[in-house]
Structure 1
Amino acid sequence: MFAILLLFAPAAATAQTVPDLGPEADMPSVEDFDALPDPEPEAGGQVVVEDEDPTETLSKLDSLYADLSGADDPAVRERVSRDIRRIWMDSGSDTVNLLMVRAGHAIQAKDHGLALDLLDVVVVLRPSFAEGWNRRATVHYMKEDFGKSLVDIERTLALEPRHWGALSGLAIIQRRLGFENESLETFRRALEIHPGLENAENAIEALEKAAEGEPV
């Protein structure tokens, strides 16, 4: 599905054929990708990295994802999702982690050029670091360069298929480009991984109503 969409998404974005989806989709928002950093990291602005075996990290992630998908309590979901995001943010490199923090600050300041410069270095230094690609996808999305954003989302999901932020971003772009059925499927997948994603719930409701011919 991703590869097919990528064949013509750049042309669609360049031609600015994005449909009007109403007030809720007027402007891209960085929160759609769930990509802003957690509260200010420790140790003088650097993310604190714990030495941990990759197998143990994957096992911990598997357990956390299971807890998240089965959690009914919103407070539990919030706690578990933050634990997952902390793992996402750990590249295993102090240098890359610091670049990510600085890129996050640049995104918050809407300095997209600086953010892209920093993230270009991140994905070169750590091409296996999913959050680097996701963060760069976010910046491309904020610039409404949907073709480049989709390319980076595909890389993110190849490395971490359960990244609900990247899935939500993909679904939002699919919707903005007019692929409602694909968008609905992707939003549902994101919600399976992270129940309680408000943007996904709202979008699913709107897309289901539209599919049934009801006013949104």
Structure 2
Amino acid sequence: MKILIVAGCSAAIAQPTPDLGPESTPPSLDDLHALPDLDVEDTAKVVSDGEEDINELDDLFSKLASAKSKPEADKIARDIQIAWLQSGSDTVDVLMERAATALRSDDTGLALDLLDVVVSLRPEYAEGWNRRASVFYMQEQFGKSLADIERTLALEPRHWGALSGLAIIQRRLGKDASALETFKRALAIHPELDNAKSAVKDLEEKAEGEPA
């Protein structure tokens, strides 16, 4: 599975970014629907890294995949996102919080500067790469965004936000079949992911309407 992710990203990076045309909606943070705010009180609830934490995260993913309702799934997903935000470094946590504030203010330049430092200080921190991928996406630097998505998924293959971001870029690049497959992979991890459910419906309807 990981090989497919890497191959798909690398192929997309090798291609020039197409002219999306004036009719295309400019990328925005709202497209992603998968970036929780950094909450110091929430992240403080997460204990330090260790085998117990890994087992707990695995258990949360199992519960998420089998959630019986959207409220239940959303609560479990939030717990996972809180765990993802825990960097293990007070400095990185502050930088992430400042980057989140910059993103909310549409200051992508400042957010990118801060996240550059984050990934340099903690290259093993998946959420740092995911956040920077989001900034590159908003700047329409899709090749760089895909590269950071690849790093995110190498560190955390179950990152549904990164998978959704990959699918969104694939769709913008006109790779609808790949986007559909990627959205479905995200839904296998988080079955109540609204943007993925809507995209799968649209892409399947579009595919059914195409001539054989």
Shared fold (TM-score greater than 0.5)? Answer: yes
Matches within 5 A, 1:150-189: 150-189=146-185
Deviation at 1:41, TM superposition (A): 2.6
Tell me, yes or no, if the aligned pair for 1:103 and 1:119 is still in contact at 8 Å.
Answer: yes
Percent of aligned pairs sharing the same letter = 51
Q: Say whether residues 1:64 and 2:63 are aligned partners.
A: no
Report the Cα distance in structure 1 between the residues aligned to 2:49 and 2:123, rounded to whole angstroms. Answer: 19
Deviation at 1:5, TM superposition (A): 4.0
| 117 and 125 in structure 1: CA distance in 2 versus 1, 3 angstrom threshold | same
DSSP 3-state at the match of 1:12: coil
Report the Cα distance in structure 1 between the residues aligned to 2:201 and 2:21, rounded to whole angstroms. Answer: 18
Mean Cα displacement is larger for which, 175-184 or 3-12? 3-12
- 2:137 corresponds to which of 132, 137, 141: 141
- 1:3 corresponds to which of 3, 7, 14: 7
Q: Say whether residues 1:96 and 2:100 are aligned partners.
A: no
Deviation at 1:177, TM superposition (A): 0.3
Deviation at 1:6, TM superposition (A): 2.6
Report the Cα distance in structure 2 between the residues aligned to 1:30 and 1:203, rounded to whole angstroms. Answer: 16
Tell me, yes or no, if the aligned pair for 1:33 and 1:138 is still in contact at 8 Å.
Answer: no
Matches within 5 A, 1:61-140: 61-140=57-136
Report the Cα distance in structure 1 between the residues aligned to 2:33 and 2:144, rounded to whole angstroms. Answer: 15
Unaligned runs of 5+ in 2: none
Report the Cα distance in structure 2 between the residues aligned to 1:70 and 1:204, rounded to whole angstroms. Answer: 19
Deviation at 1:54, TM superposition (A): 2.0
Matched residue count: 206
Tell me, yes or no, if the aligned pair for 2:160 and 2:186 is still in contact at 8 Å.
Answer: yes
Tell me, yes or no, if the aligned pair for 2:167 and 2:178 is still in contact at 8 Å.
Answer: yes
| 124 and 33 in structure 1: CA distance in 2 versus 1, 3 angstrom threshold | farther
The CA deviation string for residues 58-113 of structure 1, in whole angstroms up to 9 with x for no partner, is 11110000000100211111110110000000001111011100000011111111
DSSP 3-state at the match of 1:91: coil
TM-score by length of 2: 0.89
CA RMSD in angstroms, aligned pairs only: 2.2
The CA deviation string for residues 166-198 of structure 1, in whole angstroms up to 9 with x for no partner, is 000000000100111110010000011001111
Given residue 201 of structure 1, which amino acid in structure 2 is its aligned partner? Answer: K
Q: Which residue of 1 aligns with 2:37?
A: 37
| 5 and 81 in structure 1: CA distance in 2 versus 1, 3 angstrom threshold | closer
Q: Say whether residues 1:12 and 2:16 are aligned partners.
A: yes
Q: Which residue of 1 aligns with 2:207?
A: 211
